[in-house]
Amino acid sequence: MSKAGQVRRRINPVIVVRLLSQVVVDPQSGCWLIPGREDKYRRIHAKAEGLAQQAHRYVYETFVGLIAPGLVLDHVCGKRGCLNPFHLEPVTAQMNTRRGRSGLKGVAKTHCVHGHPLSGENLNLSFSEGRGVTRRCKACAKERTKRLAWMRAEARKRARQALLRSIRGD
């Protein structure tokens, strides 16, 4: 036990060596990267004690120490796949979001992904507790509603046909 009842994870030297043997150091940024091992969120996972863990957390806890409860690791370099413990800083999730680029992604958008303008009559503003104010394209929402209605009608039609086939004994 250490720091206020936290249980220190057992560090497996085999996993550390395996991870670090795959690392390629970016000469310009100093980031420790493992090309081709990233998931869809550009993070790298390590399998330790039968569990898939985020590799940057594993490396940080190996070389620096425990991450306090309620904190997440912020990639100060901005690269989610970076394993360099000197590029990681424990911060609150709120601070991590504030520092990151993902929170500002939608602010600069002038058009939706389908090319409709995100302004005037085509703009729908909504508020959610976790996300704050979000901007949505009304034209895309209308298309999505039409597509869902069509898909539901098709599903009902297929279900009716299957029921009739089972009644007839086909």
Name the burial class of residue 37, with classes exposed (0-12), middle (13-18) and buried (19+) by CB atoms within 10 angstroms of its CB.
middle
Residues 41 and 88 in one domain: yes
Residues 96 and 137 in one domain: no
Kindly report the pTM of this predicted structure: 0.52
Percent of the chain predicted with pLDDT > 70: 76
- Quote the pLDDT of residue 20: 81
pLDDT tens-place string over residues 11-21? 777 777 877 88
Residue 113 covered by a domain: no
Residues 99 and 124 in one domain: no
pLDDT tens-place string over residues 32-63? 887 765 555 455 555 555 555 677 888 888 88
Count of the separate structural domains present in the chain: 2
Residue 39 covered by a domain: yes
